[in-house]
Structure 1
Amino acid sequence: MSASINNIAATFANLQITSSSSSSSSSSSSSSSSLSRTSFPLSVSQKSISTKWNTHNNLHKSQKSSLINLYGPPGPPPLHSISTVHPHHHKPILSIPIGQKLPNITLSYLNPNDAVKTLTLSSLCRGKKVVFVGVSAAFSPTCTRFLKRVESEKSRGSDLIACVAVNDVFVMRAWGESMAVGEKVMMVSDGCGELSRVLGVSLDLSAKVCLGIGVRSMRFCLSSFNGVITNVNFDDEEENFVYVK
């Protein structure tokens, strides 16, 4: 009797072990098969990590931050700069926003009879598409290129191109004649720099003593219709002068 009981117990023990082992094996096989069917894309960069770009890496050990010991050195530099503004250039901002009227400032020019004439911006712009070209110095190479470029691009879509500079009327007309500007280009004098001050485009060049000039205007191209500002662009090309000692 005891022998038969032992045989029954042994039989149930074998069945339990077999079922558990078979279920575990089936689950493991199903999971392994599902894993084999599932593919996980790996996007591992092949670029080697370098810390030479970080100046903190060149410091003495005593000057380095204790965080490096905890988190390790910095990774590679970013591929693209976050800022879209050039670090060495300050983008000018016009004092009068687009959509506002130009100030009614009086400018002057020299007519064909060598007579000095004055005109206001309101009378100049009334019912017209006028492009104002502000320059720093008449006869300078960069300003000459800038005026010619604006003339070629804006002459068709405008009624008048007014070149404005903090120069006298005689210099402005002589400069226009030397460039043989077209009929649509008017050489106008902002002798006291009033227009450049109101627009917020004054440029102090008094530090360049060898040039012999003081406060002038930035180079800009301002489009207007009926005296209302529609667009403005600035030129950031630097003057390249040759100094002879």
Structure 2
Amino acid sequence: MAVSVNNIAAAFCTVPVSSSSSSSSLNPKTLAVSVSPQPHISVSWNLHTSLPRSRRSSFINIYGGPGPAPLQAIPRFNCNRHQIREKPTRSMSISIGDKLPNAKVSYLDRKNRLRSVPISAIAKGKKIVVLGASVPFAPKCSQFIERAEETKSKNVDIVACVAMSDVFVMRAWGEHLRLSLGDKLMMLSDGHGELSRALGLSVDFSKSSDGASLGLGNRSRRYCLVALNGVLRSVRGGRF
């Protein structure tokens, strides 16, 4: 703003002034106004400066060019993508050939009865795909879980979607996804993060500015693992 004011002052730095009100016939005198030189301001941040002269606003000739760039850019967060800028870590405490932990997960059965069982018991004698998600209903996580339909042709017995949320949210999310997996799909609640911690895939998103603004706290990272009879055969994870 100060630069614009100085530019206006410079435009009127030479003004005709008569010596007195009664001597209008005399030649007008010139009043010189000195303007302190301003430091050079780079305006490369403003795309307007890259336009050809014919397309520039005529106000630039009057008020001067744009002022300096903001001292600090305003952080932006895309709520449609829900991207949490959390650096991925490789702190997984489970690897190929290990048995699934005995961490308990919960779900609601068809009669709305609460069930709490170890994930190892669910995987016993079966081929199971476990999909870990951070935020139920978030677009990125929903797209991740929707890829579970690709397992239909891979002789998978159970597809278990796990998140650190309550059993009611998990069931509602499963109904919202409308996956054509039938009884193969299990929406499991890892409410206290027991499974996520056992796998080494829990993270505190409240330490991230974006996570704090969304009200996120301790959550699970996004991961995918395949187990046969409770023994890990494939694992990918460590990222949101």
Normalised TM-score (structure 1): 0.57
Question: Which structure's residues are more often strand, by fraction?
Answer: 2
Q: 2:150 corresponds to which residue? A: 153
Q: Within 2, Cα distance between the matches of 1:103 and 1:235?
A: 17
Percent identity of equivalent pairs = 45
Give the distance between the partners of 2:166 and 2:218, measured in 1 at CA.
14
Counterpart residue number, 1:163: 161
SS where residue 123 of structure 1 aligns?
Answer: helix
> Once the 2 structures are TM-superposed, how far is the Cα of residue 154 of structure 1 from its aligned partner?
2.0
Task: Tell me what 1:188 maps to.
Answer: 188
Please name the residue that 2:113 is paired with: 115
Listed as ranges, the matches of 1:95-114 within 5 Å are 95-114=93-112
- How many residue pairs match? The answer is 149
Partner of 1:35: none
**Counterpart selection for 2:218 from 201, 215, 239:** 215
- CA distance in structure 1 between the aligned counterparts of 2:152 and 2:202, rounded to whole angstroms: 26
CA distance in 2, matches of 1:91, 1:213: 18
**Which string of whole-angstrom CA distances, capped at 9 and with x for unpartnered residues, describes residues 10-62 of structure 1?**
xxxxxxxxxxxxxxxxxxxxxxxxxxxxxxxxxxxxxxxxxxxxxxxxxxxxx
Tell me the alpha carbon deviations over residues 191-237 of structure 1, each in whole angstroms, 9 at most, x when there is no partner. Answer: 0001100100012111322211201001000000000011111374x
The structure, 1 or 2, with the larger RCO (C-alpha pairs under 8 Å, 6+ apart) is: 2
**In the TM superposition, what whole-angstrom CA distance separates every residue of 1:136-175 from its partner, at most 9, and x where no partner exists?**
01000000000011x1222322111000000000000000
Name the residue aligned to 2:14: none
1:91 Cα deviation from its structure 2 partner: 5.0
Indicate how the Cα distance of structure 1 residues 206 and 90 shifts in structure 2: closer, same or farther if over 3 A, else same: closer
Cα RMSD for the two superposed structures: 1.7
Partner amino acid, structure 2, of 1:112 = R
**How big is each residue's C-alpha offset from its partner over 1:87-146, in whole Å with a ceiling of 9 and x where there is no partner?**
x96452420121010111111001122221111223201110000000001000000000
8 Å Cα contact 1:155-1:161 kept in structure 2: no
My pick for the range that moved more, 88-97 or 179-188, is 88-97
Instruction: Give the number of the structure whose alpha-carbon radius of gyration is greater.
Output: 1
1:155 counterpart SS class: helix
TM-score by length of 2: 0.59
Structure 2: runs of 5+ lacking an equivalent = 1-85
Alignment of 1:1-245 (within 5 A): 90=88, 92-149=90-147, 151-157=148-154, 158-181=156-179, 182-183=181-182, 184-207=184-207, 208-234=211-237, 236=239
